[in-house]
């Protein structure tokens, strides 16, 4: 489904991604872990098409299409979804109106007519339940005055509404208490299917107890330096990121 080859990206002339490779197939859940500043959010943003990041090399194909040549909206319409680490607040844009616009633009892209108001509201109700999202929140301005946890739940609510093929969750677990974490994880688990895939970006192993990944990768200095199964996450948790940094840096020195 997603194939990333030798991806290199910079921001403000600072090289962040330095040759990243990753293959994600349909039905798979990949976790990407790594110390702060290693480039995890950069990867998510580059895949979603944020223009402030410059792709300086490599390629990304998404279901056979050249992802990097698409506008951010077309990537979303093709089925890519980024749950933001820091969702923005947009006062004056209602959550519902925003979602209706998004759902219908994606439908229009695929050649479908706008959703009937009744069907849309039924879907809202159903998906709200999935992430135990308060009905009142859905009627408010987009993320305005939401707590950190409410914002993250709203991201998953949107994910449920838009039904993407590939979802990238950027530290959706950070700042969540254990109940909220369970709600978010439950939501994601119910959305998992053979057809879609997830990339879970996380700093901690905690989330992976609730959403069990098929693969775990460690990102460090803009490259994937270790890949394995869920045991890798446990090892990392146990030995810590300092251990990882030391061994990886030592390997790099030896190579020179």
Partner 1 sequence: MITQLTTSLYNQLVMAAPDCLQPGQEPKTFTDIRSQSFRKFKQLGFPTMKLEDWKYINLQGLVNQSYSLEDSLPGRPVAHERAHIPGLASYHLVMVNGAFRPDLSDSIEDSGITVMPMAEALDELLFAKHFAAYADKTDNPFVALNTALFQNGLFISFDKGSVAAKAIHIIHVVAGSESLFSQTRNLIVMGPNSSADIVETFITEQGAGKSLNNLVSEVVLEESARMQHYILQTASSQSSYLTHTEIHQSKYSLYNNYNCTFPGASFVRNNINVRLAEADVEGHLYGITLTADDQLVDNHTIVDHLKPHCESYEWYKNIVQDASTAVFNGKIFVREDAQKTNAFQQNNNMLIGDKSTVYSKPQLEIFADDVKCSHGCTIGQFNEQSLFYLRARGIGEEQARILLVHAFAFDVTSRFSNEAVKNYVERLVEEGL
Stretch 108-127 residues interacting with Mg ion (CB under 5 A)? none
Residue 127: name the closest of 199, 187, 78 by CA.
187
Judged by CB under 8 A, the number of residues near partner 1 is 30
Residue 57: name the closest of 97, 110, 4, 95 by CA.
4
Only one of the segments 10-18, 41-49, 133-141, 230-238 lies at the binding site for Mg ion (rule: CB under 5 A); that segment is 41-49
Write the secondary structure of the chain as one string of H (helix), E (strand) and C (coil). CEEEEEEEEEECCEEEEEEEEEEECCCCEEEEECCCCCCHHHHHHHHHCCCCCEEEEEEEEECCEEHHHCCHHHHHHCCEEEECCCCCCEEEEEHHHHHHHHHHHHHHHCCCCCCCHHHHHHHHHHHHHHCCCCHHHHCCEECCCCCHHHHHHHHHHHHHHHCCCEEEEECCCCCCCHHHHHHHHHHHHHHCCCCCEEEEECCCCCHHHHCCCCEEEEEECCEEEEEECHHHHHHHHHHHHHHHHHHHHHHHHHHC
Question: What does the CA dihedral 174, 84, 161, 59 come to, rounded to 10 degrees?
Answer: -120
The contact set with ligand ADP (CB under 6 A) reads 11-12, 14, 16, 34, 36-42
Among 1, 16, 84, 218, binds partner 1 (CB under 8 A): 84
Stretch 122-151 residues interacting with partner 1 (CB under 8 A)? 141
Q: 50, 16 in Cβ contact below 8 A?
A: no
Only one of the segments 97-105, 121-129, 187-195, 215-223 lies at the binding site for partner 1 (rule: CB under 8 A); that segment is 97-105
Whichever of 37 and 228 has its CB closer to ligand ADP, that residue is 37
Q: Residue 174 Cβ, how far from Mg ion at the closest point, in Å?
A: 9
Among 6, 19, 69, 109, binds partner 1 (CB under 8 A): 109
Among 56, 69, 71, 147, binds partner 1 (CB under 8 A): 71
Q: Residue 118 Cβ, how far from Mg ion at the closest point, in Å?
A: 39
Among 8, 41, 158, 167, binds Mg ion (CB under 5 A): 41
Q: Residue 141 Cβ, how far from partner 1 at the closest point, in Å?
A: 8
Among 22, 28, 34, 49, binds partner 1 (CB under 8 A): 49
Stretch 160-199 residues interacting with partner 1 (CB under 8 A)? 162
Q: Is 45 in the site for Mg ion (CB under 5 A)?
A: no
Among 19, 37, 91, 129, binds partner 1 (CB under 8 A): 91
Place of tokens 């490599």: 58
Q: Is 205 in the site for Mg ion (CB under 5 A)?
A: no
Binding residues for partner 1, rule: CB under 8 A, are 48-52, 71-73, 75-77, 81-82, 84, 87-88, 90-93, 97-98, 101-102, 105-106, 109, 141, 158, 162
Binding residues for Mg ion, rule: CB under 5 A, are 40-41, 85
């Amino acid at each position: 489904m997603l194939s990333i080859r030798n991806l290199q990206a910079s921001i403000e002339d600072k090289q962040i991604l330095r040759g990243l490779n990753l293959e994600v197939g349909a039905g798979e859940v990949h976790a990407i872990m790594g110390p702060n500043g290693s480039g995890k959010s950069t990867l998510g943003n580059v895949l979603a098409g944020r223009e402030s990041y410059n792709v300086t090399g490599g390629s990304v194909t998404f279901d056979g299409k050249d992802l990097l040549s698409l506008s951010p909206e077309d990537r979303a319409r093709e089925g890519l979804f980024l749950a933001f680490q820091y969702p923005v607040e947009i006062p004056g844009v209602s959550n519902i109106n925003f979602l209706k616009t998004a759902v219908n633009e994606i439908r229009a892209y695929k050649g479908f007519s706008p959703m009937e108001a009744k069907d849309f509201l039924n879907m809202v109700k159903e998906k709200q339940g999935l992430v135990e999202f308060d009905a009142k929140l859905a009627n408010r301005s987009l993320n305005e005055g939401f707590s950190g946890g409410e914002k993250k739940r709203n991201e998953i609510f949107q994910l449920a509404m838009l039904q993407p093929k590939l979802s990238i969750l950027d530290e959706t677990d950070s700042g969540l208490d254990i109940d909220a974490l369970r709600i978010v994880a439950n939501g994601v688990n119910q959305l998992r299917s053979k057809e879609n895939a997830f990339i879970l970006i996380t700093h901690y192993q905690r989330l992976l107890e609730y959403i069990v990944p098929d693969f775990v990768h460690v990102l460090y200095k803009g490259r994937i330096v270790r890949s394995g199964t869920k045991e890798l996450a446990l090892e990392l948790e146990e030995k810590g990121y300092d251990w990882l940094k030391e061994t990886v840096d030592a390997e790099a020195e030896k190579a020179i």
